[in-house]
């Protein structure tokens, strides 16, 4: 059975979020050594939420491919629960937090870059990683 392009896209997005998270965690920044580490930044929390959400999307896609045509009522019920979890997570966490992070970051960045992303951070975080963390498609 062939994969649908949206399923392949979800896998690609999940892998990109995981690579951004790995690259972000590999950066040695002084703020990562203080109380709270990376978890005190809403951008990092949003990246984790997005990665978990797309992981659930991929799991839902795989489950629907594996249970298609099986006729097992229990599997169908579990799939409906997984789809409900995916929809809830998008509506309650992934979309609102993602839009808030992107909007607030770029508005403050346009107003005064030094307030939210000082030029000093350019030494630690490359430009492509900054855009990967603060630009959601």
Q: In this predicted model, what pLDDT tens digit does every residue of 12-33 receive, in sequence order?
A: 888 877 877 776 776 676 766 7
Nearest-5° Cα angle at 98, 92 to 120:
145
Q: In this predicted model, what pLDDT tens digit does every residue of 109-132 receive, in sequence order?
A: 889 988 888 888 777 777 777 776
- pTM, entire model: 0.77
- Which two three-digit tokens encode residue 92? 């309650």
List the chain domain ranges: 38-117
Q: What is the pLDDT of residue 8?
A: 79
The CA distances from residue 98 to 27, 48, 66, 80, in Å, are 22, 11, 31, 25
């Amino acid at each position: 059975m062939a994969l649908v392009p949206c399923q392949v896209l979800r896998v690609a997005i999940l892998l990109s979020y995981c690579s951004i998270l790995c690259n972000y965690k590999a950066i040695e920044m002084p703020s990562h050594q203080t109380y709270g580490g990376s978890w005190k930044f809403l951008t990092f929390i949003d990246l984790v939420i997005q990665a978990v959400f797309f992981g659930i999307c991929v799991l839902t896609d795989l489950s629907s491919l594996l249970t298609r045509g099986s006729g097992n009522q229990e599997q169908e019920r579990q799939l409906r629960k997984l789809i409900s979890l995916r929809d809830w997570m998008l509506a309650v966490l992934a979309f609102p937090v993602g839009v808030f992070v992107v909007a607030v970051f770029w508005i403050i960045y346009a107003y005064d870059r030094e307030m939210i992303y000082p030029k000093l951070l350019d030494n630690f975080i490359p430009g492509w990683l900054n855009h990967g963390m603060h630009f959601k498609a």
